[in-house]
A and B are shown apart, each in its own frame.
Chain A
């Protein structure tokens, strides 16, 4: 159960970048999976080649994916946004295919892991051994989510992004250049994915398709918590983390994904705006 909670924090971070792009740009970014993976691999290679501590490599992986995301958005995505949600979904699916398979070709499907010296050690909480790493990941993830939320409400760029989400037309009138905002948003989403990816590399073993199962969770959490709601993402992340851990214990690992999907479909039918969702992106503030 404690594990479920801790994992939930990480899930929330994974979801926030995805939810951001969806809420602001109305783009369901399948490539989010690839960005997570690339963030993870960045940390892995920095660790493998230069012995960087994975937590220290987070800024680097974020920067790399920020640049990649910005590039992809300005060159490709912005041209297709006008075709609607489904076309952009298909587009990002294509991008995801390209990135994941390039990774597969470059680095093979071998499982890798990042194992810094302190990896095995942990803390005893309530009779359960909790690895320091998991704890750190949880705290860091939650910190990132909170920082991001502050970014949205306190900074000029953040406000511009929120404004664009709420009313692109009006935002444009105030001098905001939509394409730039979109590129920025997408880049931030990718950077957040990368941060999550870096953390994932420490907690899980990685391979080129590692992002897929996290993308699925990001879907579920976004829908569960409500599109565009950061507290919703946190809540959703924790709920999913707990639900999965519960399902694993009671029904077995095989069913846990079916459970999360059933939850997803149910929510879409019963309460499509999610638990805490409003129609458009709005931060904590």
Chain B
């Protein structure tokens, strides 16, 4: 596979909370069109990194460059307008608005040249809802949906922004096996349309199956990077997840 150009580059990305570094000196890059898996034990800093990229947290040090533009100091809405969309681990649907209206938000506030006025946005929303399989619930209110459907809504909403880069934060959490499979297919099809994706996931089967490459974080630092198979056998990674006893003796 030819080297794709980098879409997002992180250089020395660092974030402190008080005296503790949640993310420390992380260098990484996400190539256009790929699916990058972000894994690591709980507390490794994955969600923090995602918050940094989407602008909800300011960088303590380092830089994030998207399509040649630095994201430093930009507000979340500016970053969304640049073409980076995200979902939340604990979903944040817009209560008081229907599923259709939720998704229409994305179409209305999409990036330069892709945003549409409100009335059209509702129609665009219908298309997106078709794609994710929520079309029959379009007039429901968000608290009428099951958790699986809310996750899908979260995804649909982010999609409607027509992003270049999509950040998925544990979008499979709380889903049963069948739902995980369905969502995996959906993510793959989204990627097939040219959307670059960063996925945080704990469901190993899912993330191994859809990622082109993996980045592994542990206590805020990057400890491994590469194709899924290679990373899975990396001694440092195994140690991080399972403890030293399992890690020793396993070579790459």
Touching in the complex, A and B, CB below 8 A?
no
